[in-house]
Amino acid sequence: MKIGEAAQRLGVAVHVLRHWDDAGVVVPDRTPSGQREYSEEHLHRLRVLRACQGVGMSLPEIRQVLHRDEPGRTGMIERQLHRIRTQRAQLEESERFLVHVINCEHDLLTRCEACSGYAESVPLTED
């Protein structure tokens, strides 16, 4: 199928498919006249690409996922899993804090040991 149909089926702009091709992530076949030609296999790979983007992976990382023989592939996936697990733990802690704040009976959150403890555990960032 031509690039326009592939883009429509995936819900992305044509220029996005061109960018992914230029980046070497999903490279479609070419017709004798040089036009991009996408197969169902390309669409499957593009859907995996979108799923990988959804978990925060960059195009170079996605290229590693899609190409099994890429050096460092397993390590990169393990690092991404570690980032996700760390984010999940941080979000769960944040949720516990906010649920506590809703029900906190202290007139000032700074007088609450649980609220203060959470605040001390959050690293300060420089703006």
Which region among 9-13, 50-54, 121-125 has the lowest average model confidence (pLDDT)? 121-125
* Domain segments of the chain as ranges: 3-66, 73-121
Check whether 16 has a pLDDT greater than 90.
yes
Tell me the pLDDT band of 113, cut-offs 50, 70 and 90: confident
Average pLDDT over residues 23-31: 94
Tell me the pLDDT band of 96, cut-offs 50, 70 and 90: confident
- CATH top-level class for 3-66? mainly alpha
Give the DSSP letter string of the chain. Answer: -BHHHHHHHHT--HHHHHHHHHTTSS--EE-TTS-EE--HHHHHHHHHHHHHHHTT--HHHHHHHH-TT-TTHHHHHHHHHHHHHHHHHHHHHHHHHHHHHHH---SSGGG-HHHHHHHHHSPP---
